[in-house]
A and B are shown apart, each in its own frame.
Chain A
Amino acid sequence: MLKGHKASPGVAIGRALVINNSPVRVERLTVDSSNLQLSRLESAIACSKDQLQKIAEKSKINLGEDHALIFESHQMLLEDIEVLDQTKTLILEHKYSSEFAYQEVTDQFIAVFESMDDEYMRARSADVKDISQRVLKNMLGIPLCDLSTLEDEVILVAGDITPSETAVMDRSKVVGFLTDIGGRTSHSAIIARTLEIPAVVGLGNISSSVTTGDLLVFDGDFAEVYVNPDETVIKEFEEKKIDYRKNKDLLKKYHGLETVTLDSKKIELASNIRSTTDVSFVVENDSEGVGLFRTEFLFMNTDTAPSEQEQFSVYSEVLSSLSPKPVVIRTLDIGGDKQVDYLNLEKEENPFLGVRGVRLCLENSQLFKTQLRALLRAGVNGNLKIMVPMISCLEEVLQVKELFSECERELEGEGTEFSKDYEFGMMIEVPSAAIESDILAKHVDFMSIGTNDLIQYTVAVDRMNQKLMNLYTPYNPAILRLINLVIQNAHEAGIWVGMCGEAACQKELVPLWVGMGIDELSVTPSDTLSTRALIRELHYSQCQKQLERVLQLGCAKEVENFLK
C-alpha cells in the first residue's frame, strides 16, 4: 500500500498507464543496407503523421481550433524538407542507422534553437524535441501514450501531470490520477477535482514502482493506493465505489435548495472554473454563480496572447450563460508556477516572490488593458465582478483603478458599449494586504480570500515542498486570525467578502468560515452539493461560539483535533 496526499475524492479501480516522459537516446550505428534505413525513416514519419493528425482532430473537439493549431505546426515540423533531406544524406553517405541519422539532424536544430537570444524561440526547441522523440520512439517500436487517443479506461500514473497533458486528455477514458509529487493545491489536483476524477498526489515514486497494466485501486478520500491487490481488497473497493455513487445520488436532493444555516444565515455558494466548458459543471451541480474564473488558461497553451475580441467572446459566453448569477472573473494571474512563453518573462530566483499576478499586469499594461477592455465590454452580457490577484499594497489598487478609468474613457470615446455597474474587487492572498485590509476595503467593492497562497506566504512554506506539508496547513492559528481579521475589516467597510482557496470547502473548516461571517464560498463545482448539505446542518450562533474557542488555541494540531 502506498500513501500520498488527498487530491480528489472518489473510488477508482483500473489498470495503470504509466506516462514515462524519459527521453530516448540512440548510439551511433552504421549498417549495410541504406535502403532499409530509408524505408524505416519513411514509415516512422508516416506513423508519426497519423498520430499527430489524430491528436489535432481530438484537440479540435476538446479544446477548439486554436489549440489544434499547435499540433498542426508540429505536423509541419515533422515533414520538414530540410530535416528529411539531411537525414537521408547521412543515411546514404555515412551508412548511419535511420534513428541515429535522424537524431543527429534534429539535435542540430535543437541546439540552434536553444542558443537563440529570444526566449520564445528557445522554447520552440521543446517542439522539435517532442517531434524528434516521437519519430525515434516510432522507429524503435517504443509505445507512445497520447492521452487524447486512449482506447481503454486507465488510471494515469506520472511524475506530475502537466496542464498541457490534461488539456488534450480524453476525460471519458481516465478513471484516476496518481502522481509522485504535488499536494492538494497543485495543478493536477485542482484539475482532477474539476473533472471529478479521483486522484491521489505526492505518492513519492509511484511512477517508477508501478508498471503499465498493473491493477490499481484507491479511494481519493483516504489517499491510499493498492497495487495488484487480492480479490478481497478489490471486492471491498467495488462496494466502496457503489457507496460513493449512492452518496452522490443522495446529495442530489440538495439541488434547488438554498445554502442557509438552521438559523437563517445565508451564504452564497459559488464555483471555481477555468474555461467555458466548466460552465456545464456549474449548472449541473446547481452552483449559485462563479466565485473565481481563472482566466490564465486562456493565455496558456497558445503561441500568442488572446486578442480583445477572443477574450470578449469567452467572457461574454460565461456571463450570458449564467446570467443573472454573479460571475467573478479574475484578471490574468501568471508568473510563479504558471509560465507563458510568448511574454518572454525573465527567469527569476524566486518566481513566487517575483513578477506575478497584478505585478506582471502592471508591467505589461498593454496586455492588461486588452483584458480589461474585453471584460468591460463583456460585462453588458451578465452580472460581472472583476477581481485582481496578488495585490500587496494600496498603490497597486490605485494603479489598477487608473487603468480601468483609462479603458472606460477609451471605450466611451469609441462609442463602444460597456458595463458601468460591474463590481471591482481584489484577492487577499498576500499577508501585507490582509494586514492592511481595513484601508484596502475602502477602495474596492469586495474581497476574496485566496487561502492557497495566503498560507504559503504567511507561513513561508512552498506548497509543493513535500517535506513541509505538515507546516502547510489552514489550521495554523495565525492563518485563522488573519482570515478573521480580513472578514471583520471588510464588513466594517460595508463590503462583502468571499473565499476561493481549497480550504473554502474543507468540511472541518466550513463552520469556522460561517462563524467568521463569510458571505461567499467558492468551491470546485463537484463540492457544491456536499458543502450546501453541510451548511444546512449548521447553527450560525454555535459556529460563532466555536470560533471564539478555536481562536484561543495555539497549535495547528490542537485546532485540527478540536474541529474533528
Chain B
Amino acid sequence: MEKVIEIKNETGLHARPAALFVREATKFNSDITIAAGGKKGNAKSVMSVMSMGITKNTEITLTATGDDEQNALEALEAFIIDQK
C-alpha cells in the first residue's frame, strides 16, 4: 500500500519531528519505507529519516507492507497532518 503526503510543518522532518515520526512507525508490524526526492529510507530508522533531509513542502511517499499496513499509513498520515 502506498500514500503520498506533503510535509507542511516549518522544520520538515527534523530531529524532534523525525524521532516522533519514527516512534509512531515502530508501533506497527508492517515494513514501512519513506521515499522523497529520489531517496528511499526505512521509516522505522531515525537515522534514515533524518539523513533524507526532508524539508517543508516536500512530497513524501510512504509504502507499507504487512498485516497492519492500512492502519500504519493512516496513523502516519494523521501524525504528519498534526505537525505544524
* Partner-B contacts on A (CB < 8 A): 69, 73, 76-77, 80-83, 109, 112-113, 116-118, 120-121, 124, 127-128, 303-304
Q: Is the CB of B42 within 8 A of A76?
A: no
B53 touches A116 (CB 8 A): yes
5 closest cross-chain pairs (CB), A and B:
A82-B45, A112-B51, A80-B47, A82-B48, A81-B45
Give the Cβ gap from B84 to chain A, nearest Cβ, in Å: 13
Q: Mark B34-63, 1 if CB is under 8 A from A, else 0.
A: 000000011011111011010100000000
Measured CB to CB, the closest approach of chain A to B29, in angstroms, equals 13
Q: A73-B15, A82-B42 are in contact. Are A109 and B53 (CB under 8 A)?
A: no
Check B72 for interface membership: any CB of A closer than 8 A: no
Q: Which B residues fall within an 8 A CB radius of A?
A: 11, 14-16, 19, 22-23, 41-42, 44-48, 50-51, 53, 55
Is B53 a contact partner of A121 (Cβ separation < 8 A)? yes
Interface centre among A80, A124, A304 (most CB of B within 10 A): A80
Q: Assuming A73-B16, A76-B19, A303-B15, is B45 touching A121 (CB within 8 A)?
A: no
Known: A76-B22, A77-B46, A303-B14. 19 other contacts (CB 8 A): A69-B16, A73-B46, A80-B47, A82-B45, A82-B48, A83-B45, A109-B51, A112-B51, A113-B51, A116-B53, A117-B53, A118-B53, A120-B11, A121-B50, A121-B53, A124-B15, A128-B47, A304-B11, A304-B16
Q: How far is the CB of B19 from chain A (nearest CB, A)?
A: 5
Cβ contact within 8 Å between B50 and A113:
yes
Distance from A509 Cβ to chain B, minimum over Cβ atoms (Å): 46
Central interface residue in B11, B44, B45, B46, by most chain A CB within 10 Å: B45
How far, in whole Å, are A80 and B15 apart by their CA atoms in the complex? 13
Can you list 21 A-B contacts (CB < 8 A)? A73-B19, A73-B46, A76-B19, A76-B22, A76-B46, A77-B46, A80-B47, A81-B42, A81-B44, A82-B42, A82-B48, A83-B45, A112-B51, A113-B50, A113-B51, A117-B53, A120-B11, A124-B15, A127-B15, A128-B47, A304-B11
B47 and A83 contacting across the interface, CB-CB below 8 Å: yes
Q: Which residues from A are CB-within-8-Å of B44?
A: 81
Q: Give Cα distance in the complex from A69 to B17, angstroms.
A: 13
Given contacts A82-B45, A83-B47, contact A118 B55 (CB under 8 A): yes
**A113→B50 CA distance, assembly (Å):** 8
Q: Look across to chain A and name the residue whose beta carbon is closest to the beta carbon of B10.
A: A304
Secondary structure type dominating chain A contacts: helix
Q: In this complex, what residue of A is CB-closest to B48?
A: A82
Q: Kindly provide the distance from the CB of A68 to the nearest chain B CB, expressed in whole angstroms.
A: 13
- Chain A CB count within 10 A is highest, among B22, B50, B51, for B51
A81 to B22, CA, bound (A): 11
Of chain A, the residue at the smallest CB distance from B39 is: A112
Query: Which residues of chain A have C-beta atoms less than 8 A from B11's C-beta?
Result: 120, 304
Most buried by B among A73, A83, A109, A121: A121
Q: Which residues of B contact A117 (CB under 8 A)?
A: 53
**Roughly how many angstroms separate A127 CA and B46 CA in the complex, as a whole number?**
12
Query: Which residues of A sit under 8 angstroms from B19, Cβ to Cβ?
Result: 73, 76
Residues of chain A with a CB closer than 8 A to B46's CB: 73, 76-77, 80
Pick the contact of A124: B23, B41, B50, B55 (CB < 8 A): B50
Cα–Cα, bound, A118→B42 (Å): 21
Q: Which residues of A contact B16 (CB under 8 A)?
A: 69, 73, 303-304
Q: Which residues of B contact A83 (CB under 8 A)?
A: 45, 47
Tell me if B47 and A82 are in contact (CB < 8 A).
Answer: yes
Cβ-closest chain B residue relative to A105: B47
Q: Which residues of B contact A127 (CB under 8 A)?
A: 15
Contact A109 B47 (CB under 8 A): yes
Question: In the complex, which of the residues A77, A109, A121 contacts B14, with contact meaning CB atoms closer than 8 Å?
Answer: A121
Q: Which residues of A contact B47 (CB under 8 A)?
A: 77, 80, 82-83, 109, 128
